[in-house]
Amino acid sequence: MADQPLIGVLALQGDVREHAAALESGGARTTAVRRPAELDAVDGLVIPGGESTTMSRLLETFELLEPLRARLAGGMPAYGSCAGMILLADKVLDGRPDQRQLGGIDMVVRRNAFGRQVDSFETDLDLAGVDGGPAHAVFIRAPWVEAVGPAVEVLAAVPDTEAAGAAAGRIVAVRQGAVLATAFHPELTGDSRVHRLFVDVVLGRA
């Protein structure tokens, strides 16, 4: 792995190119992951946004569901944004009966929380572990975290302001060991600090 880890981006749905560009700016090599052999080759994996139920079906279609669960259980670093956060949760509220979870973070996530209550939403967030001031966060039909277990570190919550409405105070970024998740899309803002943090996690520096 040396100082330039190979990080995969799950390439079934979502902003694959944007995540790859952000990871590369953070010092990683990247590759698209669609098959188990490609998953076997990576040091870490990004699970992008999309539609979580469709993504879980595609994971089964591409025979990635069980291999990915196994790699997560074995300690592979992972980062999920939006739908990726939903898939990494141990429990989902408002999910569909056929939705499959990868697990990896001891949290309860409410699916489409922003989409149903406050639609697309943008705000500035203070992110624990990320230097350089607040990050601008873009939420698109996003989840939020209803509850976390004792091993989960809360990295960010929506500021408790009148403008935030129902989203005020909701947890939107978490970490458990080498697994990170955000309800927002940092790959869309040109701010690669979340991805740099994940590269450091993969390298064992964070």
Domains of the chain, each with CATH number or no CATH: 6-203 (3.40.50.880)
Mean pLDDT to the nearest integer, 6-33 = 95
Q: What is the pLDDT of residue 95?
A: 66
Confidence class for position 139, pLDDT limits 50, 70, 90: confident
> How high is the pLDDT of residue 14?
84
- What integer pLDDT is reported at residue 205 of this predicted model? 81
Q: What CA–CA distance (Å, rounded) separates 92 from 110?
A: 6
In order, the DSSP letters of 17-79 are HHHHHHHHHTT-EEEEE-SHHHHHT-SEEEE--S-HHHHHHHHHHTT-HHHHHHHHHTT--EE
66 catalytic per annotation: no
What integer is the mean pLDDT of 179-193? 93
Q: Is the pLDDT of residue 123 over 60?
A: yes
Confidence label for 166 from pLDDT (cuts 50, 70 and 90): confident
The pLDDT of residue 16 is: 93
Which is it for strands 144-148 and 78-81: parallel, antiparallel or unpaired?
unpaired
Q: Which residue has the higher pLDDT, 41 or 94?
A: 41
Query: Is pLDDT at 98 greater than 90 in this prediction?
Result: no
Q: Which of 18, 19, 185, 195 is catalytic?
A: 185
From the list 24, 60, 162, 187, the catalytic residue is 187
pLDDT value of residue 116: 58
pTM metric for this prediction = 0.93
**Tokens, residue 66:** 């069980």
Residue 201: per-residue pLDDT: 96
* pLDDT reading at 106 higher than 90: yes
136 tagged catalytic: no
pLDDT at 112: 76
The three-class DSSP label of residue 172 is strand
Say whether 51 is catalytic. no
Catalytic-labelled residue, pool 18, 19, 66, 82:
82
